[in-house]
Structures are given as structure tokens and as C-alpha cells.
Chains A and B, each alone.
Chain A
Amino acid sequence: MKMFKTLATSALALSFALQAQAADVPDDVTLAEDQTYTFWLLDAIKSMDPQINTDVEGSDVLRNLFEGLYNENGNGELVPGVALDHEVSEDGKTYTFNLREDAKWSSGEPVTAQDFVYAWRRLANPATASEYAWYMELMQVENASAVVAGEMEPDQLGVTAVDEHTLEVRITNPLPYFPQMLVHASTFPVPQSVIEANGDDWTDVGTLVGNGAYTLTTHQLGERVVMDKNDTYWDSENTVIEQLTALTINDVNQALTRYLAGELDRVDIPAGQYPRLKEEYPDQAVSTPYNCSYIYMLNVGEKGPEALKDVRVRKALAYAIDRDIIVDRILQGGQRGAYNWTHWAIADFERPELDWADDMDQAQRVERAKELMAEAGYGPDNPLDLTLQYNTSEDHKKIAIAASQMLKQINVNVTLDNYEWKIHTDRMQNQDFDMARYAWCGDYNEASTYLDLMTSYSGHNNGEFFNDAYDQVMQDSKTAEDPLPLYQEAETILAEEMPIIPIYHYANVDMISDDIAGLPENNVNNTWYGKDIYRVAE
């Protein structure tokens, strides 16, 4: 979900793009005079502090105000940020980063390895009380867990400044995608002296000191954020956009209207509007795969209803839902109907052959669902009553209504239960549901980010699907040379046990001004940087 869109680590292969540049403007392009870019935020920015921020919109802003060790390019590949490159030790547990010498804070001070050490310790330090402290643990930085738990001092964390421009990180296990994790905003350096002098107010306009391509000039909470080009940034010569503006608009339809009135350069397209806009504005409406999957989680645990403990019922529920209707008639934005858990666009992943997905059409699936329900003892005279819980959103509501009608044909009476996000989450975590809408956004571009979630030891398995074979497969995959067959086996187990009903795989559906170039086109996490953008003269 939202929270985790930010865990942006894209291509697993550590391939640096050749050019370590800012905006890559082709020679034959004439730049527009007005080099500004205005984008949309659904909500107010909760925090401008890299170690405190938890959501994707905050990260979009932070990536422009700060710069971490590595950035991503339009294809999701790593490009140098503050780090030029790194060496990995033989055992794969020690990373040594060589930092560029020309990186500067907006105050003019140089960015040093010590700044990263300070930031990382700060993230893990219990005194900071960061909701993202666990990210240090996810990165497997040495002693992270103990520091987060307050059992060790923050200076015991496995990160050291060897000299001004050399940073050493020790991790507990080899982690092939470790460098990708460094794109995440919570690992960005922060200026120690400014924080110590200003406390919680250090992120105020005028006080905030960053090392990104832009500096904060205005922050009117819930109204707008304005960022101006930072001349002390090491690559400011190649930064084209002079000013970035983020407008908060709480209503998605309203945002689209204002986009059409020319107030914004980029907005999300509301469900159902993509085909119309694509026809009307073929150059502006775009849809790209987005690293999230939408499911209905079934409560198969102790507190769940008896009926859902029967695999036949679970399968029937999954079969009866017509995904084509949901993606083609409701969402209509290039999403894909899902028959498995892992997003189809994930690198190096291929869905295994699944009989219900590949060998049946929807009519056959419904037929099969009816048979399964009959076998399980349910029929027109003995319908099954279930609740379907979803959090407040126009789209979730539509899908839930459609699903409830689809399930009616197999004699399931669905009661819709709509809750606010907090209650929805709270109820799910307390196993207080039958079926619940759930979505997961991959932390990185690899299948395990999805599949790990259904293990019995994952903290997110709210439906309490506990399956030893599945756990075993996932554990084996960690050390396997080629994990794909194991991932496929895991997906097959999910299809056989059906603890979750896959609904669809997300897409990013946007309107983007046709004179804006340089936004990522092939990045499943949609990580973008203002410094890569430029506006073409019309």
C-alpha cells in the first residue's frame, strides 16, 4: 500500500547507466523558456524529515531536497548519487562506498560520510522514534535490531565513516539487492548541525538544509510546496527545471479538472476515465505497470468463519469473480486482472501455469465455483453469508459492490463493511474480518517482496494462512541460485490453497503535460527526480 511504495529498489541487477547526469536533453530539442514543473499531491506532506517520513508523496518531495547514495534512472537502474561507486567484500557483507567530493549541502558545507553515519544512526535510534526504524533491520545493517530495541547504543550500528568520502556498511547476511535499498528516502543524509540547532523545527522553510537538486522555498501545509533549483548541488549545471511546485488537492476529480485547466503538469486519472482521456489527449494519458497487487484476503485463521476453512469455498469465491469486468469496465486504466499474487511486471518473474487462469474461461470458472459450493454444502436454499470489508475509497467501493454481485450467483450473500483506513487496518490485524480488501506494493522489484508476505512468520499475513510447505519453499528460495522455480511453486501453492483472492495488478494511470520530458517511463516504482525533467518548447 501507500506506505510501501517508497521502498524503491528497482532492478536487481546492479547495472549503472553510463551517464551519471541530470536532465538528459537530446541535442535537437529546444527547451521552453518556462522551466517549471507542477505536480499533484493528494494530501498534505506529513514530514520533510527523511528519517521521519513514511509515505510515498513525502518521498517524492524528499528525493528533490536530499540525495542518497544512489538514484534511479527512468528504467529503474541505479545511477550514482552521492556515492560514485562501491566495493563489496568477498563474503558479501561489507560495502565500501566512495563518495563524490563535490557534493555539498545547500549551506555550502561538503557532504561527508559522517553525514550518512549520523542519518542512519538517527533512523535506528529509539530516541528518534521513527516509524521507519525497521528499515535499518530490513537492510540487515549490523546491530540494527539491537539499536532499535534500545539494547545497544546507536554508535554500535554497522556503519562507519572511514574518511570524509568513504563510507563503510556492514550487514549481517549477503543481500544481493542491498544497493537498491539505498534509493529509499529514509537513508538520505541529514545535516547534523542544523538538526541539533533547531530540533523538530529544522525542516521549516529557511532552516532546512539539504543536499538535493532543489531547496525548499515555500511549504504551506495542505496547500503547496515550492522548491527552487539549488545552485550548490553538484550537478546543478545540468539541472534544467528551475522550480518544482507540488499542489495539494484532496479530490482526485478536482485535480483532473485543474490539470485540464493547465494548473498542473501531472495528475492521476480517476478510475474509468482513462479510455476517454486517451482518446481525447493521446499524448498526455499514459498507463504503466505499477508494483502493487490488489487482493481480497480471506481469514482462514481461528477467528475466521468456518466456511472459509474449506478450500472448496475459498476457490469458489476466487473463481466467481470476473476480473475482466473489474479491470476493463470499472478501472479501465490498463490494470491487469490477477490470477496470482506477484505483480506480472516484476523483473525475472513469470507466473506458473495455473489451471484456473489458463485453462478456463469465466463461464467455466463460475460453473466450477457452483460445483465447489455445492460440494461444500451450500446452495440456493442454504446460502453462505460473508462480510467483505474495505477501506473508504470510491474505487474499493465499486469493486466491492461488483464482487458482491458476482458472488451472489454462487449463492454467497455478501454484506459490505466499509471502514476508515485506521479501523480497517486495526480489524485486519486483529483477525476481525471474513474477506478484506488488501493491497501490497513491492518494496523492491523482485518476487520475494510479495511472496514472503504469505509466510507464517511474516508480519502481514493477517488472514493467518499457515502452510509449512509454503514456508519451506520460501526459505529455500533465499539461498537458491535460481529462485524462479521456487517462486512458481509458491504461487502454485497459493492457487491450490487460495488464502487470498487475487483481483488485479496495479498500473500508474496519469495525465502528463505533453511538453514535459524526462519522467521515468519504465520504472515500476515510479521513482522520479525533478533534476531529470525538462520542458520542451512547443
Chain B
Amino acid sequence: MVNLEVKIHDLNLKNPVMTASGTCGFGEEIADFIDLSSLGGVFVKGTTLKPREGNPYPRMAETPSGMLNAVGLQNKGVDNFINNIYPRIKDINTHFIVNVNGSTIEDYVAVTEKVNELDKIPAIELNISCPNVKEGGMAFGVSCPSAEAVVKAVRRVYDKTLIVKLSPNVTSITDIAKAVEGQGADSVSLINTLLGMAINAETRKPVLSTITGGLSGPAVKPIALRMVWQVYNAVKIPVIGIGGIMNATDAIEFLLAGASAVQVGTALFIDPTIPIQIVDGISAYMERHKIQSVNDIIGSLQC
């Protein structure tokens, strides 16, 4: 029997496989397919202070080995989460982590304070990397001073586990990672989507209503792996790996590169049972390699 438990600051995960924000709703939407309690954690849909309608259709374009999205943080707001969603999910035996978004620092702080009141939400993921909103989002995550400012303000009001989700659309992701670590972030998750674009040559028009959107799926995996490895070597806080994970081998590669846990995202669109297959696949890998604890894989890349 292998030991799959990992730790992200104060969070004890039963296994390192979680679902990424924006790809699993509030968990309920995939509960027909999998037992949520067999996951290490569920990162719920990006949440803002006020409801948001998101961007106009079309919001999606299929691309080689991936897809672009431009959803734009459509959500019913934090109060809806607290009043209508939280009571339904709070007793499910996994960690639900709220992905917190805002247009201003005050927004981030206000959402965080509200989520802080919820006993069964042990952590937040501060999203300073959404590429699909006009204000806030990625704007906070692409420079060290703005990333520091928002993390500092949120840290002041939040004592539970604070994870910061980083943008790959930067010159040096390690600089941003070190900056947020310096302001008290407990963990970083990376990568959010890469800014991309799709064009319909026949109509001479962009495919997305917003012209540009966020690229995800296997197409981004090599970039994500590289960034996780760089950040792992630059900070002391645990790293959560995200980017194009489709199977157990992909997940193990992220663990080897230094991720303490992973998030499965776009793969859920193809097959929402993939996270369970990944948990089983990691166990099988460990048995095959006679590895007792998954912690022995983390960062064990031999260069």
C-alpha cells in the first residue's frame, strides 16, 4: 500500500490530484462521473465580489492539442457561493478551495474576507492571472509590485492557506513567485492559461469574441513543466503544478519537476473521470518503482 498523502502548508491532501478552477464548476457538475471525496481537492470556479456575465459568445476555439477560452470569469458572485453552493458541498469529504478574483485590490480583499468566514473552506487560490478580463486579473500577476500589493493586502485578512495562481505571460515567473512568497503566500499554483489567438481565414475574423484568449491543454504542458521546475528551484513554499495534464504520466512528470500536487483542468472536458485514473496511475507507478511515499517523487528529477 503506497502513501499518497501530501501537504500544502496547512492542507493535508489525501492524494496530490485536484481539479482546476474553471474546469469543474463547483464540483457538483462532475459528481455524476466521480466520487469527489476521492480527490485531493477541488478548486471551484473563479469567484468575484459581484456577479459577472462573462464575455460574449463565441468563447472557445479548438486548437492543435488544446483549446482557447475567453469565458471572462462568468460567475454569480461570492454571496451566491456562500448562500447557495457552500451549504450543498461543505460536507463532502475533500478540500474545496475558492478561486478568488477581483478588478481591484479592495475586491480581492472583500471576497477573501467573506470566504474566510466559511469553516469548511480551508484555503483560497488568489487568481492574479486570468487573461480574459479587462480589469484586474492578469494585470496583477504580470509585475512584481502589483503582485506583491494584492498578496500583501489579502494576507493581512486571511490566516488560512493562501495559494497564489501565477500567470505564464511574464518575462520571469520566478521573480513573480519570489515576490508573492515574500509577501507571505503559502503556496503558488502554476500555470494559468497562455495568452493566444485563433483566426478564421475564410471570414478574416478572430474566432473569439474577445480576439485573444487563454490557451490550455497538452499544447502548454512543456511550458508548464519548465515553469514549475524553475519556480520549485526558486522558492521554499510548495508548488502546485497545472498545465495540460491528461494522464498519470503527465502528473508524475510535474511531481518530478517539483510540484507537491497537481490540478487537472482541460482534461476534464474530454473525460471527467481522468482525475481518478490519475490517482490510480500514480499508485501503480509507485508500486512499480517501489516508492513508499509520493513525497519521495516530488522534486526528485535527476538532472
A and B co-occur in one complex: no
Report which A residues bind B (CB closer than 8 A): none
Report which B residues bind A (CB closer than 8 A): none
